[in-house]
A and B are shown apart, each in its own frame.
Chain A
Amino acid sequence: MTSFTNKNVLNLLKNLPRLTISNLRNNDGAVKKNKRGRAQHGGDKHGHGNKGSKARQNFMRPGYETGNTPFYMKFPREQYYKDHNVKRQYPPLSLYNLQKMIDLNRLDITKPIDLSALCNTGLYNINPEDKHFGVNLIDEGADIFKAKINIEVQWANEPTIAAIEKNGGVITTSFFDINSLFILINPKKFFKRGEAIPRRMIPPEDSILYYSSAANRGYLADPEKISWERFVLAQKYGYILPKIEDDPDYEMLVTRKDQRQIFYGLEPGWVVNLKDKVILKPIDSQLKDFYRS
């Protein structure tokens, strides 16, 4: 309180410089000069060390610690991705893309859809050389899916199965060994080779449970159990299961391949001649026995 009465202090305040535009400036380091220093002005290494990948514009792979034992290799751990390079792959196809194919007349839904129909559109492709073993139908776009189809895929999850069965369709998961797969994805190329259609092999040990499970709509499962699982899924997802028996496309919807069959309607052992448009069938009893399911 005394300072207000002190005239010397007031005089001091009067003579001190005012805060004006002429003496305003930024805090130190507030403005960074966006320039690379040259020569003695910080022009040596620019904070990038001496030579090597870090001095150049090189982005090291994730986890690499420039010669140290990387953190991910230091400790014993559960190898989640062990043998990932030999595991079977199922490239995904979404229900949204499937619906788009159907809308644009790329797929004929009056006939059963299998992998060869999908590959013949030219919009979906698998490469068995990269350990692709078929199509994984994923549930993206399950809400907009409206088509009634009979589809055979290699892998499907529960929401996908529900989305297809809700519209009165049928889905089957089935396994094709690599030899059958090469034939299935390009049937024209196979027919031109003039060979007999081989038998489809049964699934390997690690996937036989998947393909014989009714919940996965496996092709080796008991049909009666499948119809029960269809009902269970309808209860779970809360929709009324359309009756296939009353459907006008009943014949199409119940069409299924035999477990040894690769194509619909063509049996193993037959030779297709595309030029003369004839099918050669074996009548030798030994051959018939060999190709029998």
Chain B
Amino acid sequence: MALRMFYKNAIITSGVSLRLNNSICKRDSSYRSSPFALDPSHYAKFEVTSVPEEWKFVERLIPSKIIPAPPNSKDLPSGWQPQTTQFGKYPYFVHRTRNHMLPVYLKVSMRGMRRITQIKNVDGDIWALEVALKKHLQHLYGEKKIIATKVHEVCGHLFIHGDHVMKVCEWLIKKGL
């Protein structure tokens, strides 16, 4: 290996043609064994251009590093609603996700038999949110329906037994959260 490298270097410095160099070149697993790049005259001819009109096509292919700010409009075709409530209006607060969506998820486990609604990013008094949400769902379903909840206070997660994602989302949007 070292001998071959030495031989190649010797060829390049002595200016022997590229064809001879290529003929003895053998690519091993390491990049060190590949031939050294020569000056551009040995390769295909090209021109270097920097036309701003052409560079615009490149720039649009580079992904944005930040997520754009959400719109303030309330009547968008998709039905997305902005967060209008100020922090502190309620004893609790539900932050939007980084994509400006509601952090309400459905967790399905036990071969699809157990469905749990999870609300994330809860700030402030999570117990007050639990009481308020439970009251709302109890009102919707009737007193007989058991709305079992679980509070993870440290992480700010609220779990409700059953699939109530749409109802929770509607309630949060109505509150402006």
Residues of A within 8 A of B (CB): 59, 96, 99-100, 102-106, 108, 111, 116-117, 120-123, 141, 144-147, 187-188, 191, 263-266, 271-272, 274, 277-284, 286-287
Contact = CB atoms under 8 A, between A and B. Distances in A.
Given A104-B70, A144-B79, A279 B63 contact: no
Contacts of A147: 77
A138 B108 CA distance: 25
Interface string B32-63: 00000000000011111111001111101111
B55 A122 contact: no
A187 B50 contact: no
B46 A120 contact: no
B68 A106 contact: yes
A188 B78 contact: no
Interface in B102-145: 111
19 contacts: A59-B111, A99-B77, A103-B76, A104-B70, A108-B60, A121-B63, A141-B78, A188-B62, A263-B61, A274-B62, A278-B48, A278-B50, A279-B50, A279-B54, A279-B58, A280-B49, A281-B46, A281-B49, A282-B44
Contact of A191 (B58, B77, B99): B58
A120 B64 contact: yes
B79 to A, nearest CB: 7
Contact of B47 (A103, A108, A141, A280): A280
A123 B60 CA distance: 17
Nearest to A269: B46
Interface size bracket, B side = 20 to 34
Pairs of residues from A and B, 8 with the lowest C-beta to C-beta distance, nearest first? A265-B57, A120-B63, A187-B61, A146-B77, A105-B68, A100-B78, A103-B76, A99-B78
B47 A283 contact: yes
Given A104-B70, A104-B100, A279-B55, A188 B61 contact: yes
Nearest to A117: B60
B80 interface: yes
A291 to B, nearest CB: 11
A278 B62 contact: no
Contact of B61 (A103, A116, A123, A280): A116
A100 B62 contact: no
B74 to A, nearest CB: 11
B88 interface: no
Contacts of A117: 60
A144 B77 contact: yes
Nearest to A186: B63
A266 B79 CA distance: 37
A145 B77 contact: yes
B15 interface: no
- Most chain A CB within 10 A, of B44, B51, B78, B80, is at B78
Contacts of A123: 99
- Most chain A CB within 10 A, of B56, B67, B70, is at B67
Contacts of A104: 68, 70-71, 80, 99-100
A76 B48 CA distance: 64
A111 B63 contact: no
Contacts of A280: 46-49
A96 B76 CA distance: 12
Contacts of B69: 105
Nearest to B61: A187
A277 B49 CA distance: 9
A264 B70 contact: no
A56 B45 CA distance: 71
- Most chain B CB within 10 A, of A147, A278, A279, is at A279
